[in-house]
Structures are given as C-alpha cells and as structure tokens.
Amino acid sequence: MGLFDRLFGKKEEPKIEEVVKEALENLDLSEDVDPAFTEAEEVPQEDAEVESSEEALLQEEENQETVEESQDSEPVVEVSQEEIEELPNSEEVTEEENTELLETVEENSSEVLEPERSQVEETVQEKYDRSLKKTRTGFGARLNAFFANFRSVDEEFFEELEELLIMSDVGVQVASNLTEELRYEAKLENAKKPDALRRVIIEKLVELYEKDGNYDESIHFQEGLTVMLFVGVNGVGKTTSIGKLAHRYKQAGKKVMLVAADTFRAGAVAQLAEWGRRVDVPVVTGPEKADPASVVFDGMERAVSEGIDILMIDTAGRLQNKDNLMAELEKIGRIIKRVVPEAPHETFLALDASTGQNALVQAKEFSKITPLTGIVLTKIDGTARGGVVLAIREELNIPVKLIGFGEKIDDIGEFNSENFMKGLLEGLI
C-alpha cells in the first residue's frame, strides 16, 4: 500500500447509508399522509412543549432559590457533594432537584479542570498537527480559493496552479514537474472540472515525497559512541536544537556530551554552555578564538575515555565565506576520523523553515561544502512555508531527520514523513 493510501485511504465510494438516506429524502410521501391525522398529532406536541418549557422555568427558579439558600456568596463550583447533603432544609429539596444541582457542580468543576487537561503531554501526531497548522491553513485556503475561481480546466488553470504551488514554497522545480504531470492526468481522465483534479494534486504531492519508498529518515545510532556534527548559518536554531536533543537523549538514559566548536562567536559558546548547564550534560569548550578543530579533538578524546554514548558538535555557519568554512569543516572531519575512523555518523544541516526558499538555497550551498546525511528543520510551528520539505526532497534528496515543533524543551523529535504529510494535507480532501 502506498503512502497516500496509508494516510488518506483509497478513493471512497458513497456509503450505503448515504445512498439510502438520499433516496428517502427524495421520496414524495405527501399523498400517503392524512392531513387530519397530522393536525391531531401536532396539537398535543405543542401543548407538551409549552408544558415542558413552563416546568423547566419553574424548576430552574427552584434550583436557583435552593442554591441561594444553601450558600450566600459561594460559587456553585466549590460546593461538594457532602455540603449539598448537609444544606439547611435539605429535606425540602427533592431528589430530582438534588441530582440536577450535582450535575451543575460537576459541569462547572470540569471547566475549572480544563487548564490541567491541556497540560497533558501531546502525542507525536498532535505535535505535527499543531506545528503544521499555519502551513496547512495557508496552503488549504489558497487551494480552496483557487478551485472556487475556476470552472473549467484550461491552460490558465495550470498556470495559476503552478504559481500557487511556488507561493506555497514547494519549489519551482516541484511546481513545474507537478503541473506537467497534472496536464497529462487531465487529458488521460478527460477532466473538465477543477474539482476532479483536487484529489490528484494531493496524490501527486504525496507521491513526490514518497519517490521509491526509501526515506532514510532514521538516525544512525552506533553501539558505542555516536558522533553528530551540526552545521548551519547563525540564527536558524542550530544550538537550541542541540540543547533540546541533549535533553531528549539524556532523558532516554544516554550519556551525552556537547562540543562548542563555533569558537569565533563568543555568544555561540556561551549559549551552548548554558544549555549544558540547563540539561545537566558536560560541554567541551576552548579559549576564545581557539582553533575549532583543537576543541573538537579534545571533545572526541574525552568522549572516548568517558564512555559517552552521543557526542554532538556545534560548528560555525559563516556561509558568506565559503572557502574558509569549507577548509574548517574539512579539518574538523579529519580530526574526528583520527579518533573514530567511521565518524561523524551523522552530519546535520539545521534549516529555519520560516525562510522558505532561502532554506533551500542554504541546503544547496552546504551540500557543496560538506556531505550531509540529514536535515534538522526548525521553527516549523511559526511559518506557513512547511512546503520547503518537499522542495528539499525533490531537488536535493536529503532526508529530513529531525524536526522542531516549538519553543518547549521537548518540542523536538525524529522526523516521520507519514506524520508530516498527514499534518500538512489533512482536511484538504
């Protein structure tokens, strides 16, 4: 079964219940109904409704008087069952009134407890749904408006669709390829109405990410030391992601160590050191302006001697000076391999999803500088540009392996394409 079918199911046929309901609604039963019988039935019903409303009003007044007598200024929500049973003149309160009063207390109590329930830990899918809300809403609104504006499938339809996809940050290449495929599908299916292509568009987006079904999203953890090298320009959330991951892995029972190899930016070292203090993991630092490779060497040796499970290395992101950055990363790579020949086991590029196509440009540039095994996608919760994941997948074939859901310390997790695509496209079909 393909990814689309797993997410949204196969094309649904009309349910038998809906067919029967529609048939019943279309039946003309007016000849079989006796008008006199209808009137005879309606009169008692009206009387019953009047009596019912009068009883409800009387009962509500009695309940209100009972509550006012039992407690002068206390709100109903704070009345316990024991207090209700010990109310003055409780013998005069009927069993029915007492039951309704208890229901009122329970209802109000549930409102008070609502904030506590909201603190319940989110599921992974709930995090995806929450963080992709802006992207899903923006894309969905544009798609719905697009279909509302067109009554036929013509060349203008496809041109506007391509522009819409580009605006959704799926990338120029993706938008162009997808539009061409839809032209072919429209001819094949002889589609004349835009709505006939709505499901096909979503299917194509899913297929685009699915490709050959080889996602390679899992992180390559090792039996002993796992070395993770992080690259990315300043301000994308790279250091913050490392800190959150340190917390995540330590909570999982791993021995974690961090290396502050961005020695030319004092703020980066201080930020990583603060994260280390906050999540209680050691951080290897060096003197200001020290050679980053020497700090990495110290970190590698300590990690091996102390039996560390996961070593995460933060590096500089001066993309504007690519030659120096390339030389620096190459040197760091050699130092790492001197201690552990098969390391680094993962080289992650941190990208800010809110930068849209600029994130794609950064991914292209960094992939020229150093081999990348995966992407850390940050700030996905604050943007409508989550479609950039599709562009990266199509144009660079670099898997997203980690995703940041928000600002909380546990708002980071391993990327799952099915959860992502469901969170991105849910409700559009």
The pLDDT confidence band at residue 344, using thresholds 50, 70 and 90, is very high
Highest mean pLDDT among 72-76, 265-269, 347-351: 347-351
Residues β-bridged to residue 412: 404
Q: Considering the chain, what is the average pLDDT of its residues?
A: 74
Q: Decide if 44 is inside a domain.
A: yes
**67: Cβ contacts below 8 Å, ≥ 6 apart:** 76, 79, 101
Q: What percent of the chain has pLDDT over 90?
A: 26
Q: Decide if 401 is inside a domain.
A: no
Q: Decide if 64 is inside a domain.
A: yes
Average pLDDT over residues 44-71: 49
Q: Does pLDDT of 220 surpass 50? A: yes
Q: Decide if 254 is inside a domain.
A: no
Q: Does pLDDT of 348 surpass 90? A: yes
Q: Decide if 62 is inside a domain.
A: yes
| CA–CA dist 105, 79 (Å, integer) | 7
Q: Does pLDDT of 189 surpass 80? A: no
Q: Decide if 325 is inside a domain.
A: no
| CA–CA dist 139, 198 (Å, integer) | 13
- Do residues 429 and 214 make contact, with C-beta atoms less than 8 angstroms apart? no
Q: What are the helix (H) ranges across 168-291?
A: 172-189, 198-210, 238-251, 266-279
**388: Cβ contacts below 8 Å, ≥ 6 apart:** 169, 170, 171, 351, 353, 356, 357, 359, 360
Q: Decide if 78 is inside a domain.
A: yes
Question: 243 or 360: whose pLDDT is higher?
Answer: 243
Q: Which domain holds residue 94?
A: 33-111
Predicted local distance difference test score (pLDDT) of residue 211: 65
- Do residues 319 and 238 make contact, with C-beta atoms less than 8 angstroms apart? no
Predicted local distance difference test score (pLDDT) of residue 40: 41
Work out how many domains the chain is built from and give that number: 1
Question: 75 or 124: whose pLDDT is higher?
Answer: 124
Question: 270 or 418: whose pLDDT is higher?
Answer: 270
Highest mean pLDDT among 159-173, 214-228, 375-389: 214-228
Residues β-bridged to residue 377: 351, 403
Average pLDDT over residues 363-386: 82
Predicted local distance difference test score (pLDDT) of residue 59: 57
Predicted local distance difference test score (pLDDT) of residue 375: 92
Condensed to tens digits (0 to 9), the pLDDT of residues 242-274 reads: 999 999 999 999 999 999 999 888 788 999 999
Q: Which of 172, 143, 138, 117 is nearest to 382 (CA)?
A: 138
List the single range of 53-62, 78-87, 319-328, 359-368 with lowest mean pLDDT: 78-87
Predicted local distance difference test score (pLDDT) of residue 428: 61
Q: Decide if 91 is inside a domain.
A: yes
Q: Which of 78, 378, 40 is nearest to 234 (CA)?
A: 378
